[in-house]
Structure 1
Amino acid sequence: MGDPLLNAGPDAGLTRAAVLGYVEALNAHDADAIAARVSEDFVNEHTSAMGRDVTGRANYRANLTVFLADFADLRYDVEDLVAEDDRAALAYLMSFRPAVPGAGTVRVRGVFRFRVGPDGLIAHRVDYWDSGEVRRQLDPSA
């Protein structure tokens, strides 16, 4: 079996750096840099009804161009980050301008859960955000 410490995933410092680098790439709106921060078999999971799950770096990268176009001026402000071993939870305030004529800036709070591989790449991300709040801000009369 060997020493379990030799097979351990990244430490909290590496996990924290991987997560913050990923958010930095998102905020730079650089699809290639974002995709470079995730593993080949990356799992992007959404709990929101408006979100789209995707598996694999290539599929994720293919979706990023449309995502970044639909969410102009996308910004994730980190409210809190907790990292332990290969896992992290990051609370954020996301803001963006939707690709809807006349729409103002939308702001919604959410949480990412991450699992980081021993190579320092994001292996799994679960995103929790309130799609009802986004819809409310897009159509206040609803």
Structure 2
Amino acid sequence: MGFVLNETRAAVEAYLAALNAHDADAVAARVAQDFVNEHTSSTGQSRRGRAAYRAALTGFLENFVDLHYAPERFLVDGESAAVPYVMTFRMRSAGDRPVRIRGVFVFTVAAGLITRRTDYWDSGEVQRQLA
């Protein structure tokens, strides 16, 4: 069980490091072919499949300037992990206005790759900060 926990955490840490490095190819390499990226926020856009996710990453990373996810902790249970985070960025499409929000990722990992990411964050808070 300890190996699975370590593998799960390592996969999540590698994924977050790639996001924080703004490396779309490295991010996509950390997810499975049948990856599910679910957003619970009304303004988030969910995607299925590595190819669809990769296609969206370039624009996302260009619009979210200086994107950084700061994990608050890692809660790992087998192949699942929950990671509360603080996300900071400047939104290019909104005049480079700075945003800071808290959210929670819930990941599922198999064979060292992320198979599912559910992202819980408050889109209303983002809109408030951009107003």
TM-score by length of 1: 0.88
**Amino acid across the alignment from 1:122:** I
SS at match of 1:48: coil
Runs of 5+ unmatched residues, structure 1: 1-7
Structure 1 counterpart of 2:66 = 73
Which residue in 2 is equivalent to 1:121? 113
Residue number in structure 1 paired with 2:130: 138
Partner of 1:83: 76
Query: CA–CA distance in 1 between the matches of 2:94 and 2:67?
Result: 17
- Which of the pair is proportionally richer in helix? 2
Unaligned stretches of 5+ in structure 2?
A: none
RMSD across aligned C-alpha pairs, in angstroms?
A: 1.3
Aligned ranges 1:1-142 → 2 under 5 Å:
11-100=4-93, 102-117=95-110, 119-139=111-131
Identity of aligned residues (%): 56
Larger Cα-atom Rg: 1
Letter in 2 for 1:136: R
How big is each residue's C-alpha offset from its partner over 1:77-99, in whole Å with a ceiling of 9 and x where there is no partner?
01111011100000000000001
CA distance in 2, matches of 1:19, 1:35: 13
Higher strand proportion: 2
CA–CA distance in 2 between the matches of 1:14 and 1:115? 11
TM-score (norm 2): 0.95
- Contact 1:92-1:111 within 8 A present in 2 as well: yes
Assess if the C-alpha contact under 8 Å between 2:65 and 2:96 holds in 1: no
Number of aligned residues = 130
User: Which structure 1 residue ranges, 4+ long, deviate > 2 Å from structure 2?
Assistant: 100-104
Say which SS state the counterpart of residue 42 (structure 1) adopts.
strand
In 1, distance between residues paired with 2:12 and 2:120? Answer: 16
